[in-house]
Amino acid sequence: MPTLERKPILLDFEKPLADLEARIFQIRELAEENDVDVSDEIRQLEARAVQLRQEIFSGLSPTQRLQVARHPRRPSTLDYIQAISDEWMELHGDRGGFDDPALVGGVARLAGRPVVMLGQQKGRDTKDNITRNFGMASPGGYRKAIRLMEHADRFGMPIVTFIDTPAAWPGLDAEAFGQGEAIAYNLREMFRFDVPIICTVIGEGGSGGALGIGVGDRLLMFEHSVYSVAPPEACAAILWRDASKANQAADALKITAPDLKQLGIIDEILPEPIGAAHADPVKTTEILKEALLRHLDVLDRMTSEQRRELRYQKFRALGIFSEHPV
């Protein structure tokens, strides 16, 4: 039975590129039907398509990067874990009666080495997103995360986390079950772990929901990911009582990888293939795996005391500023 090809999901700024690619396809089909050689014209148009794709994705605004970070086809936590792991076993439950599907994790082998991997998991479609709560973890999710990280620390396994959430779940039930306490507990405990911790923003890193698994020796970030204190829509609603000013908020929040690298918040920007991660997930996975192994090699050469001090100083330095007379 033939498989149906998935229709591409286009962002607004990708439409000129899609139109050009559709034109190339039509010309190629007509040439084949009429037995006409148009190879030179096709090569020129394809070269123009490559150039246009580079132009589009090299000049994205913060709002456009946010759209890319939220793209439904962007690789997810489970996509990366399954692609980079030699072996993978998902573990469930927070041992308190809950198993949050918005936060997944387990034990794996990375290049033959035992590690614990975990992260927020968004859905692929509306039904899956409802099941995964759009990647917004409950207190049970963060308690499951810390259970897995404590397991890693006890048995000397590095911790690898993948951040991809608009925020922690803000519902009344989450507050009733101690959302703030669960995240705060994770922050405190991650600072004391002896094992290496590498955190990577793979899509959208928002609010305390991202930080709840984001305390590490290294914080990596994909080129078209975003990382901020709050989603731009929420920020606009708070500051201006108008969510339509999200574009203005995105500019002010400095949510992009280059901005955060300049501010010293992240350690490395991971480049994405032309057209972003969803355009070439295989290449993106290779880039991620190489970076994780490279940083693990460096962290392995440190003592646990050196890693804890590095972690502490890294976060103490965030938000430091100086005033200059006008």
pLDDT digit string, tens, across residues 250-298: 999 999 999 999 999 999 999 999 889 998 999 999 999 999 999 999 9
Take residue 217 and report the two structure tokens written for it. Answer: 């020796």
Residue 7 lies inside a defined structural domain of this protein: no
Residue 151 lies inside a defined structural domain of this protein: yes
182 vs 67: CA distance, rounded Å: 29
Give residues with Cβ within 8 angstroms of 149, minimum separation 6: 116, 118, 159, 186, 189, 190, 193
Residue 22 lies inside a defined structural domain of this protein: yes
Residue 146 lies inside a defined structural domain of this protein: yes
Q: Based on the domain organization, do 51 and 170 belong to the same domain?
A: no
pLDDT at 20: 74
Q: Which residues of 82-93 are buried (b: 16+ CB within 10 A; e: fewer)?
A: ebbbeebeeeee
118 vs 149: CA distance, rounded Å: 9
Place of tokens 């993978």: 88
pLDDT at 4: 43
Counting residues of the chain whose pLDDT is more than 90, the rounded percentage is 66
pLDDT at residue 38 above 80? no
109 neighbors 115 (Cβ within 8 angstroms): yes
Report residue 1's pLDDT band, with 50, 70 and 90 as the boundaries: very low
Residue 321 lies inside a defined structural domain of this protein: no
Residue 91 lies inside a defined structural domain of this protein: yes
Q: Based on the domain organization, do 80 and 200 belong to the same domain?
A: yes
105 vs 81: CA distance, rounded Å: 9
pLDDT at residue 52 above 90? no
173 neighbors 138 (Cβ within 8 angstroms): yes
Q: Based on the domain organization, do 158 and 25 belong to the same domain?
A: no
Q: Give the angle subtended at the CA of 115 by the CAs of 204 and 155, to the nearest 5°.
A: 130
pLDDT at 11: 76
> Which has more confidence, 49 or 195?
195
Q: Based on the domain organization, do 289 and 260 belong to the same domain?
A: yes
> Which has more confidence, 324 or 90?
90
232 neighbors 255 (Cβ within 8 angstroms): yes
257 vs 253: CA distance, rounded Å: 12
pLDDT at residue 2 above 60? no
**Three-class SS state of 48:** helix
Report residue 105's pLDDT band, with 50, 70 and 90 as the boundaries: very high
The sign of the CA dihedral 233, 238, 240, 242 is positive
Expressed as residue numbers, the domain containing 31 is: 12-59
Average pLDDT of the chain is 90
Q: Based on the domain organization, do 130 and 54 belong to the same domain?
A: no
pLDDT at residue 6 above 60? no
The pTM assigned to this predicted structure is 0.88
The identity of residue 185, as a single letter, is Y
What's the total number of domains in the chain? 2
Report residue 7's pLDDT band, with 50, 70 and 90 as the boundaries: low
